[in-house]
Structure 1
């Protein structure tokens, strides 16, 4: 293929690089199939995937199970794709040599995806999938089905019956993004003269540049129009009759057979591996989202606990010691959330690093915090509540900063990464809206203090 090199192309090149060496294709394909099977089984059996995430991705995991079975049976799936009435079902039937798929003149005869074995190539190993037309009148659901089927097929034959429409060009682009090999077949080629057919093939190759190999753009006639001829009977009377013509699929059949025999099992292995990779990415994303949501709740709980501890402690400066203990507990709790438990010593060291960076950035805030702590012990009545609210809000904000910095450290696998702690902490400080956090904290603290007083 021309154009940018896709992930599928890179994997395929790596799998097939040994093709220049005198090694039989079947053993190489068996190796690739075994590798993909092992990868799928590992993902399906991974004990670290939470039940809730498995449930949310149930359709994808069911598809993984189906792909695993397909690999173990040595199957290759070829999807026949295209607009309504371009002859997809007729092509599939002609390849099979039997009327397995419905063929009709009604708009959109194929209502859903259907699959049959292509015995001619590899026993029961190769399966043809006929798909609904991409331009059904009520076709949004069927079009989605067609793309879904093509997305899990190992090879796609895109069928047209003339120069490509804009919808067909768009569909070809979309199919190319599913990262699997495409063949482009000009069906009903018998309707065109030799020069016109040659011109159409050139146009199709232009449309498919970077998406389909030039050699994989072929002309076929799945269901040629009957040939009219005159027959003279014994009395010398002429009769016009229609003679059915045999399908002309040699160019497509040769290309398909060559691909299947040379790299069929490898294509199936690649397709399964790519799909497993996408599911694995989704699992990782869902786990990260779940951890972030839980981490948000944990940080907020500690923000409330620490701010109240500071606000309610009447002893000057002693509240800061309690706050430090809560910071350590927060960091250790976050470590468990992210599956990277921290010892007390590790938590203390991490807090020391974060605090040092915060102190350098926010010396004035900590100065106010210490003054407020001292004043609180000398205050009484409403002034104590107001001072405690202000000091508690600062403690809330400090906890938010410590929690977010520790979270970044844990997400990176207990590392500050290339940026280092100074830059990470600075970015966190800059990303948080201090005023809104302080305002929310103060309102929450005062509300809880009033509720306690009412009790």
Structure 2
């Protein structure tokens, strides 16, 4: 079930951690406590950048609007709206925020293919997450596969940037008349075909089911599952920033737990690094003292 509200982080958390360490016999200096504060502040206030990509007409702009709860991207059923990257930048609170880059659709025309390829390659290194959108009733996946293999993978391989493939507009998958417009849910045969489409996408792109999700953005179908998948595959230090900015109706308790765990793991690693540095300093001093004692003996 979606979470009802976003949890707050106590402002005194670094001091609480320092007190906990002190009770275990590890005392932080003022400089180390400030390092801990800076580490926590960087994670909590991280400004995430997400690229939304795919063929023209796949439903990228609708996905942006559905995930983040307001009309942030232009949508048209007639022609391609996005001919250049639309960067939507906003914050819930001062110091927090998210940049959503709604990319122009690949495959719009042969004359724009090279232009968009260069544009994607330029922007990919800046992204924390890629959402590649495929229209559910589109049987032609060759352009998507080509861009994924030739453009995305070479640019993202070394950076380990997470990619989620989003099968969109699944309410249009046949038999589309089965779609329950009251509950916004597919009928039994339509559900089978949606599952078959997801399985096909997994095979073509050689991805596990954990990186593919079926949605109907305007109907709100599949958005909670999509957010859970995104939060699961994001690195620990970036889970919180995405979850914080997503529309809260799409964030399940499971997603919040994962985001909280990522925040805790990042804080823990920071504490361990500080404590290790402190121990190495103390150890070096003890070693030097032992050396002097040995020379005197």
Aligned: 1:130 with 2:102: yes
Is 1:74 matched up with 2:46?
A: yes
More helix by share: 1
Deviations 1:352-408 (A, max 9, x none): xxxxxxxxxxxxxxxxxxxxxxxxxxxxxxxxxxxxxxxxxxxxxxxxxxxxxxxxx
Structure 1 unmatched runs, 5+: 1-26, 35-70, 224-244, 269-455
CA contact (8 A) 2:217 2:223 kept: yes
The runs of 5 or more residues in structure 2 that have no matched partner are 1-34, 174-189, 243-297
- Bigger drift between 133-142 and 179-188 goes to 133-142
* 2:192 aligned with 1:195: yes
Is the Cα contact below 8 Å between 1:83 and 1:160 reproduced in 2?
yes
1:96 shift after superposition: 1.6
| 2:48–2:98 contact (8 Å) kept in structure 1 | yes
Q: State which structure, 1 or 2, has the greater radius of gyration over its C-alpha atoms.
A: 1
Distance 1:248 1:198, change over 3 A: closer
1:220 aligns with 2:215: yes
C-alpha distance in structure 2 between counterparts of 1:257 and 1:191, whole Å: 27
The verdict on how the C-alpha distance between 1:125 and 1:259 changes in structure 2, with shifts beyond 3 A counting, is farther
Aligned length: 182
Q: TM-score if structure 2 supplies the norm length?
A: 0.53
**Residue 207 to residue 32, structure 1, CA distance change in 2 (3 Å):** farther
- The residue aligned with 2:6 is none
Q: For the residues of structure 2 that align with 1:120 and 1:259, how far apart are their CA atoms?
A: 23
Corresponding position of 2:147: 171
Per-residue deviation, 1:80 = 0.3
Give me the whole-angstrom Cα distance separating, in 2, the residues matched to 1:253 and 1:121: 21
**What's 2:87 paired with?**
115
Change (3 A) 1:255 1:126: farther
In the TM superposition, 1:316-335 aligns within 5 A as none
- 8 Å Cα contact 1:158/1:182 also seen in 2: yes
Normalising by structure 1, we get a TM-score of: 0.35
Equivalent in 162, 166, 169 of residue 185 of structure 1 = 166
Which structure has more relative contact order (CA 8 Å, sep 6+)? It is 2
Are the structure 2 counterparts of residues 186 and 117 from structure 1 closer, same or farther at C-alpha, using a change threshold of 3 Å? same
Structure-2 change in CA distance of 1:166 and 1:261 (3 Å): closer
- Does residue 262 of structure 1 match 2:257? no
Give the drift of 1:153.
1.0
Distance 1:168 1:266, change over 3 A: same
Q: Tell me how far apart the structure 2 counterparts of residues 105 and 150 of structure 1 sit (CA, whole Å).
A: 27
For the residue of structure 2 that corresponds to 1:178, the secondary structure is: helix
